[in-house]
Structure 1
């Protein structure tokens, strides 16, 4: 698919999404349109797989199958292969056609049928390996919400119209090399994030930042056994890593239930088999779900300076994730608690890259103690990268990336990169271009000092700075102003004074000619 065709598809989907919006907030209508697209994906995957199973049968088209014996066999195979099952009459096309039928000819009310289909998808997984991945996956699609229409008839018409539009789009799922739908899904998530205000940060990391994190943790590698995100949001950051190298298994944890559902949909829709991802919904710091696992790559964009129990929970004092550092992260700022958690889960050969507010670089007290231990005792900090301000949704603050590795090649220094001025304006936001991203990655991989951009600091120098990592301490971006020629300035002032005197004399002459008083 060409770039123009891709953009046309994205625009088409966005226009369909806006038909649903009405008076709904961005995050509300997001759940509906992404849920319906996901249903279409599941339906088309089922249709394609069932047709493949029927290749040697007399009836080769799944939608024509009526015999329960054949459907039972297809169901058994589908649950094993796909993780779920849809009957022929439950397919997306069948629902769309019924909803858009002429109401004078036949019943076109589909709300109850559609709700049953969504429930049946979940029911088909009960007692199987995929049960957890599909459990309550469609719970945010309230088909009876008055926000979709004041009456059942109005809601039915709107949903049928949206399904009808989506049914006309070919996502080319039979093309193994195409990820048209995955790319379109990511585009929509990004569009919703741009309109969701402060809520956007809960579920989406801008692709430009995700790309940097992904390229860092995959440097020097062709394949990853596992990648983990403890605050995975919509799962986009995990999936971005898979665009760089082959990833065997994905792990993540997300606190928000709606966002957790979105992440599971995102994984499945990007053709990640249910056996190869393990996403959990729980508070990562309080109830970590993968504590026995160690991951080859860790990426994250944790909530900036979030509150956590900290000292208020005595269990944390003896928690292996935090106890060795001497102090707990402050209750008002969980930034370092997330860092400590990720370090604990990082494999000995692993690399971690996470986005944090600049405060983690220089704040004192407990955070200063943790920072010193991380550098002096563990020597895990590999690089500090300063990003431009106003590139994240929901906040305009400047941020940084901490790169941490347990098997550092350059274990006698820390690389500092100041990329804060490398951006271009994009409406009311700033964004990193491909050139900006490439410069950051090349500088990281080459580990070089570049005037006014990067600096390789020895550990002794960091120690002399009392383990303060504030980037301007290491990367001097000061631009000297042009020297002022005072003689030229004096001459210019004299010229201006003479011109003013000439004008005053002219004004006096005009006033005398008019017989009026002069203004001075």
Structure 2
């Protein structure tokens, strides 16, 4: 099967199984069990590759694993498990007991002897083991907390809930995760499901998923000319959602599949979405050592490195900052933030009703001065609104931080039909003091009810960004003087005239057509009158 066929088949079956359960809740179950399956088989591969477990012919792995544990403990499972658990937690960041391995769970599910309590014990055991590795606990601890096995949505009785959960487990197990040419497509399928749930969630879908095409555009720009060499590449998303934007940045870097090559940093306020982000990165084979995600309010709490022992803040800087924050979000804008190093040099705060520029300044604060590039999705209003936003905008222009502004088509994002922009920012590395404006608002394709950026649209934007030249009705490189004359208003139509001229009207041709129409009307009227005379209606 092709990857697309696998994805469509899985989504169709998932929809049939969820019945009346809302997509947002169902998402927590199917994504969690798919992740657990992945972790179980990853542990199995690790134990076999490290020669810690040997499987006899026709022997199920959980049986071989249990035997190896007991041999290690000289007949005592608990003693042997202590050693195995230490090894697994050190190497993988987690540990799953033989009785909770995926093959064992499937066997009990097929035999109809499993209960919701077994699933709960499975998750509790996982949490307990993950807590034993200080470095990995933040990546694995509580990752299954959104799986409510007692939810009435699963059924009103224990038997009904067990049946519902088992149907999800069987669906996950029955799916083929190998696509064309024997290629492992598990990560792609996981990302596809996240996208589908975002589409089903309506307005809330935009809170945890950035369309891949937009992610790809931003990722190509912030990684342009970069490659992973002796030092690792670091990327930060202060509003990381499901982590798709972070992963796309990594995928655009050559050599990013090696452990330590790319360091992923992200913050996410919603705990459920934060859990999905952790799963998503791990399912794409990001090692726990390279994953640094935080469940926190980005505006309220800066990246949690914190000040040193003397109270001096040493902010962590990143090679790339990417984000798609919630549009025109409300925030406190408390006066104490004027002392916050992220905002204080601008003298004012983003308004309480619109935190767009607060998110921008937070990300910009962490951008490396010599080589960092930032890409952020924002509503058009940040380009021209007045008051405090005008003050901040002027400061960004005068500091020469704004590199490029790209106008996107409307209706690209889930839950938001408004047109948006991508703003590209740099610090002390711009070769000039100009700003490139690109109006890509009219280049898109259709996918059901959504607009989408096609590959040719992305290429056109990217090439214009690289060339940095005027393109009629598409791009303009504006000077600082030109922007100052516009009172630092950055609204794209002030710099790129993309309107199409109305064709000239030939009045003589129009009059001739009217005369011809009149003659045809007279002729038809005469024919009608002749017919009415024959019928005796008129004389």
- In the TM superposition, what whole-angstrom CA distance separates every residue of 1:95-147 from its partner, at most 9, and x where no partner exists? 1110111x5xxxx1331111101111110022322122222211111112121
Alignment check: 8 A CA contact 2:437 2:475 kept: yes
- Counterpart selection for 1:497 from 493, 518, 529: 518
- Which 5+ residue runs of structure 2 have no aligned equivalent? 71-76, 306-314
Contact 1:38 1:269 in 2 (8 A): yes
Find 2:209's aligned residue among 204, 225, 228: 204
Whole-Å separation in 1 of the counterparts to 2:534 and 2:413: 67
2:271 counterpart of 1:257: yes
Counterpart of 2:347 (choices 316, 323, 326) is 326
Query: Within the alignment, does 1:364 sit opposite 2:394 as a pair?
Result: no
**Does structure 1 conserve the Cα–Cα contact (< 8 Å) formed by 2:408 and 2:422?**
yes
Aligned residue number for residue 222 of structure 2: 217
Counterpart selection for 1:162 from 141, 158, 168: 168
Q: CA deviation at 1:394?
A: 0.6
Mapped pair 1:302 → 2:325: yes
User: Which residue pairs with 1:63 in the alignment?
Assistant: 63
Structure 1 residues 77 and 381, CA gap change in structure 2 (3 angstroms):
same
Deviation by residue 1:188-207 (Cα, 9 ceiling, x = unmatched): 10111111100001100000
CA shift in 2, pair 1:495/1:150, >3 Å: same
**Inter-CA distance 56–116: structure 2 relative to 1 (3 Å threshold):** closer
**Equivalent pair of 2:14/2:171 in contact (CA under 8 Å):** no
For 1:420-439, what aligned pairs fall within 5 Å after superposition? 420-439=441-460
Distance 1:19 1:32, change over 3 A: farther
- 1:473 matches 2:494: yes
Identify the range of structure 1 (275-284 vs 290-299) with the bigger mean alpha-carbon deviation.
290-299
Alpha-carbon distance between aligned partners in 1 of 2:23 and 2:130, rounded to the nearest angstrom: 31
| Secondary structure at 2:443 match in 1 | coil
Change in 2 beyond 3 A, CA 1:131/1:393:
same
User: Which residue of structure 2 lines up, in the alignment, with residue 461 of structure 1?
Assistant: 482
**Residue 379 (structure 1) aligned with residue 385 (structure 2):** no
- After TM superposition, the structure 1 stretch with the greater mean CA deviation from structure 2, 289-298 or 314-323, is 289-298
Change (3 A) 1:498 1:158: same
Q: 1:404 — aligned with what?
A: 425
Q: Paired residue for 2:309?
A: none
Matched, 1:7 2:17: no
Q: Does 2:402 correspond to 1:389? A: no
Provide the rounded CA distance (Å) in 2 between the counterparts of 1:403 and 1:239. Answer: 19
Taking the aligned partners of 1:56 and 1:201, their CA distance within structure 2 comes to: 44
Provide the rounded CA distance (Å) in 2 between the counterparts of 1:233 and 1:56. 38
Query: Distance between the aligned counterparts of 2:53 and 2:104, measured in 1?
Result: 25
| Length-normalised TM-score, structure 1 | 0.92
2:323–2:375 CA contact under 8 A, matched in 1: yes
Q: 1:217: Cα distance to partner?
A: 0.6
Between the aligned partners of 1:193 and 1:239, the Cα distance in structure 2 is 17
How many residues get paired? Answer: 505
Per-residue CA deviation, residues 418-473 of structure 1 (Å, 9 max, x unaligned), is 11111011111111111111111111112122111111111111111111111111
Contact 1:53/1:74 (8 A) holds in 2: no
Q: In the superposition, relative to structure 1, how do residues 229 and 484 fare at CA in structure 2: closer, same or farther (>3 Å)?
A: same
Given the superposition, is the C-alpha separation of residues 459 and 63 from structure 1 closer, same or farther in structure 2, using an over 3 Å criterion? farther
Alignment CA distance shift 1:178-1:502 (3 Å): closer
Deviation at 1:70, TM superposition (A): 4.2
2:34 is aligned with 1:37:
yes
Partner Cα distance (1:441, 1:513) in 2: 72
Other-structure match for 2:97:
87
Tell me which residue corresponds to 1:110: 115
The match for 2:248 among 236, 240, 248 is 240
Choose which of 132, 136, 139 in structure 2 pairs with 1:133: 139
Match of 1:143 in 2: 149
Query: Equivalents in 2 of 1:16, 1:487: separation in Å?
Result: 64
Q: CA deviation at 1:305?
A: 0.6
Distance 2:183 2:486 in 1: 51
TM-score where L is the length of structure 2 = 0.89
What SS does the aligned partner of 2:130 have?
coil
Is 1:336 matched up with 2:357?
yes
Cα deviations across residues 311-341 of structure 1 (Å, max 9, x unaligned)? xx12112212112113211111100011111
Q: In the alignment, which residue of structure 1 is the partner of 2:310?
A: none
Task: Give me the whole-angstrom Cα distance separating, in 2, the residues matched to 1:416 and 1:466.
Answer: 16
Q: CA RMSD in A?
A: 2.2
CA 1:362/1:456 → structure 2, altered by over 3 Å: closer, same or farther? same
SS for the counterpart of 1:124 is: helix
| C-alpha distance 241-500 of structure 1, shift in aligned 2 (>3 A) | same
